[in-house]
Amino acid sequence: MSPDSLLPELAERIFGPPAKKVLLYLLEKGEATDEDMARDLGMDENELRKLLNMLYENSLVKYRRVRGQGDKLYKYLWRPTDEPSLALLESRRRKVVRLLNRALRSAERESYVCPQCGRYYSFDEAADALFRCLNCDAILEPVDNNDKAEKIKRIIELVESATFSTEVIEERV
């Protein structure tokens, strides 16, 4: 399996079967308008455009804009990305690590919860409310997030240690 044929598999794992169908179509055709794809794949044009934009935001497809003949409207010609699959995986890994680090910072902050209504407060919010719930006036209790923070740290270590090669990917696909 060539690294570029991994694109449909990546798309399916991230966005589901319709994304795989779109990428297989684009790999076969090379370049196509969203109208042609919708017609040939039997998909709703608006749903297809949403999917194409999500694929674009994740660097799985590219487009070029051309003026329609006799129109003042633009047509968008979509094609698979020319970025190597391994680079896409590495970019995705870095994004996951950034999100996990954000979640870790949030878990490590001191927070409080109302025992009656379950509303959460940061330390500053709880102090401003004199450690009383703004909804029901109950006394707030501190939240122990140590277990959650430790789990997130372990996941970060695991994701950071991940390396990608075409052999490993081929075995999993």
pLDDT tens track for 98-130: 999 999 998 898 999 999 999 999 999 999 999
- Would you say 48 and 98 are in contact if contact means Cβ atoms under 8 Å apart? no
Supply the DSSP string of 85-118, one letter for each residue. HHHHHHHHHHHHHHHHHHHHHHHHS-EEE-TTT-
Q: What domains sit in the chain, N to C, each tagged with a CATH number?
A: 3-82 (1.10.10.10), 86-172 (no CATH)
pLDDT value of residue 1: 43
Question: DSSP character for 72?
Answer: S
Radius of gyration of the chain (CA): 23
Phi, psi of 16 (to 5 degrees): 100, 175
pLDDT value of residue 164: 72
Residue 6's Cα: distance from chain center in Å? 17
pLDDT value of residue 167: 53
pLDDT value of residue 163: 78
Question: What distance in Å separates the CA atoms of residue 169 and residue 10, rounded to the nearest whole number?
Answer: 10
pLDDT value of residue 74: 86
Low-confidence ranges of the chain (pLDDT < 70): 1-5, 165-173
Question: What distance in Å separates the CA atoms of residue 85 and residue 113, rounded to the nearest whole number?
Answer: 44
Block residue for tokens 């709703």: 44
Question: What distance in Å separates the CA atoms of residue 95 and residue 92, rounded to the nearest whole number?
Answer: 5
125, two tokens: 């919010």
Model pTM score: 0.66
Question: What distance in Å separates the CA atoms of residue 94 and residue 120, rounded to the nearest whole number?
Answer: 29
